[in-house]
Amino acid sequence: MDYIHLRDMQFFGYHGVLPEENVLGQRFRATVSIAVDIQKAGQTDELSNTVSYVGIYDICKEVIEGKPYKLIEAVAETIASNILSSYEGQVFGCKVEIIKPDPPIPGHYKEVAVEIVRGRFYE
């Protein structure tokens, strides 16, 4: 299995349980890995033989900057579902990590994050 990774994409969204998160918004980071077969692309140097990472980026941007969700779990699930349905037959699985660097909770920590794996990611 081969993989394409889009690491540390950054967006601004309005996801969260607290009302101020839905009004003020905040930064979110996303890392997505997709399981694909890119051998033919490597041999031919043709974009038509791979999955364009621009399309994957656009899905992430649309979800994170779009409709607000209460949970970053729902954001991750929606991204994974949209990738798998948009690239059915090309993407065998995906791993999505959503990072909330500044959640409104007291304490000292770097960030909070969720990571999900959907489809057949490891062979």
Q: Are 36 and 83 in contact (CB under 8 A)?
A: no
**Which residue type does 28 have?**
F
Residue 123 predicted with pLDDT over 80: no
Residues 6+ positions from 32 with CB-CB distance below 8 Å: 5, 6, 9, 56, 60, 79, 83, 94, 95, 96, 97
Picking from 67, 66, 68, 83, the residue whose alpha carbon sits closest to that of residue 31 is 83
C-alpha to C-alpha distance for 48 and 41, rounded to whole angstroms:
8
- Confidence category of residue 122, pLDDT binned at 50, 70, 90: low
What was the pLDDT predicted at 104? 82
Name all domains of the chain by residue range, CATH numbers in brackets: 2-119 (3.30.1130.10)
Picking from 10, 3, 2, the residue whose alpha carbon sits closest to that of residue 99 is 10
Picking from 89, 88, 81, 90, the residue whose alpha carbon sits closest to that of residue 32 is 81
Catalytic residue flag (residue 100):
yes
For 19-77, the pLDDT digits (tens) are: 999 999 999 999 999 999 999 999 999 999 999 999 999 999 999 999 999 999 999 99
- Confidence category of residue 9, pLDDT binned at 50, 70, 90: very high
The arithmetic mean of pLDDT across residues 86-92, rounded, is 95
What was the pLDDT predicted at 101? 92
Give the active site residue among 61, 67, 95, 100. Answer: 100
| Residue linked to tokens 């993407």 | 91
Supply the pTM of this predicted model. Answer: 0.94
Q: Which helix (H) or strand (E) holds 8?
A: strand 2-13
